[in-house]
């Protein structure tokens, strides 16, 4: 089973992203920073916030769904706000997306907020709402089950250091996982956590037996050349001892975001 986790960056490298997810052919694709605008066409828009303007694919979820017709897509919004095409406002939702190959059965799942709550009339106050999605899959090929969870951790303008909100977030993630994962099978937890490698988040997740493959492999960078700031950790992939890791890669090429994709093949 191939699992890929990636912060999609709102689809800013759209063509490269679509090509990569198609060719990489994941069984499970965990995406953060995904937009969906029901009833709207596909195309580009601008996100505006306090003088900042960022190009975004306002229907990225639908575009990924089209690129992966053999997968079921789950969209998990945190907020609904406005994007802009010139002076025209486009109402869109922002959140997580999980894509699962249809030959696998989703036999349990959980979705909840790990910080804040759903914002229906704007993107929300900083630090903005964040959620996590957890699924339990049955593999018919191997007659086995595995639980997979991913999260987009809160962004704090003060940086990626530990805060009370981040510790509460980690505890909420553990609580969500425990509602889905029976405890006696493999567990994979991944995503853009927005924390540093020495964060208390990892000590909290370690209570489930999880250890991180990024820092455990001595890797020091999960960002691409499009990220120009210091502090190049953000994305992590954790597993329990029962997960048979056949391959793990922090993908350097192609660059499809300002984050690198994390690719895990399990036996």
* Low-confidence spans in the chain with pLDDT less than 70: none
- State residue 165's pLDDT score: 97
The first and second tokens of residue 79, run together, are 């907020």
**CA dihedral over 61, 63, 68, 69, signed as positive or negative:** positive
- State residue 57's pLDDT score: 98
- State residue 228's pLDDT score: 92
Q: What pTM value is reported for the model?
A: 0.97
For residues 190 and 205, is the Cβ–Cβ distance under 8 A?
no
- Each residue's pLDDT tens digit, 15-37: 999 999 999 999 999 999 999 99
- State residue 40's pLDDT score: 87
- State residue 230's pLDDT score: 86
Buried b (16+ CB within 10 A) or exposed e, 35-67: bbbeebeeeebebeeeeeeeebbbbbbbbbbee
Q: Nearest CA to 29 among 249, 191, 203? A: 191
- How far CA 117 is from CA of 113, 129, 131, in Å, comes to 6, 6, 8
- State residue 157's pLDDT score: 87
Say how far apart CA 144 and CA 154 lie, in whole Å: 33
- How far CA 203 is from CA of 29, 47, 162, 221, in Å, comes to 26, 35, 12, 21
- Each residue's pLDDT tens digit, 140-181: 988 999 999 999 999 998 999 999 999 999 999 999 999 999
């Amino acid at each position: 089973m191939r699992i890929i986790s990636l912060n999609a960056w709102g689809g800013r490298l759209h063509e490269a992203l679509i090509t990569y997810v198609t060719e990489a052919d994941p069984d499970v694709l965990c995406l953060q920073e995904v937009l969906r605008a029901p009833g709207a066409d596909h195309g580009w828009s601008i996100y505006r916030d306090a003088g900042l303007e960022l190009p975004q694919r306002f229907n990225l979820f639908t575009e990924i769904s089209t690129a992966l017709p053999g997968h079921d897509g789950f969209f998990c919004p945190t907020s609904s706000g406005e994007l802009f095409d010139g002076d025209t406002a486009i109402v869109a939702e922002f959140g997580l997306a999980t894509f699962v190959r249809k030959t696998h059965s989703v036999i349990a799942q959980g979705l909840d907020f790990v910080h804040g709550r759903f914002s229906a009339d704007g993107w929300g106050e900083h630090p903005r709402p964040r959620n996590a999605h957890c699924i339990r899959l049955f593999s018919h090929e191997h007659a086995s089950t595995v639980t997979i969870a991913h999260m987009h951790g809160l962004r704090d303008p003060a940086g990626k250091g530990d805060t009370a909100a981040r510790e509460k977030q980690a505890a909420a993630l553990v609580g969500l996982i425990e509602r889905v994962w029976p405890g006696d099978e493999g567990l994979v937890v991944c995503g853009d956590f927005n924390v540093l490698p020495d964060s208390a988040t990892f000590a909290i997740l370690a209570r489930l037996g999880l250890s991180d493959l990024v820092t455990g492999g001595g890797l020091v960078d999960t960002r691409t050349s499009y990220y120009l700031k210091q502090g190049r950790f953000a994305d992590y992939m954790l597993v329990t001892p029962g997960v048979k890791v056949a391959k793990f890669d922090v993908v350097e090429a192609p660059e499809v975001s300002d984050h690198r994709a994390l690719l895990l093949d399990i036996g």
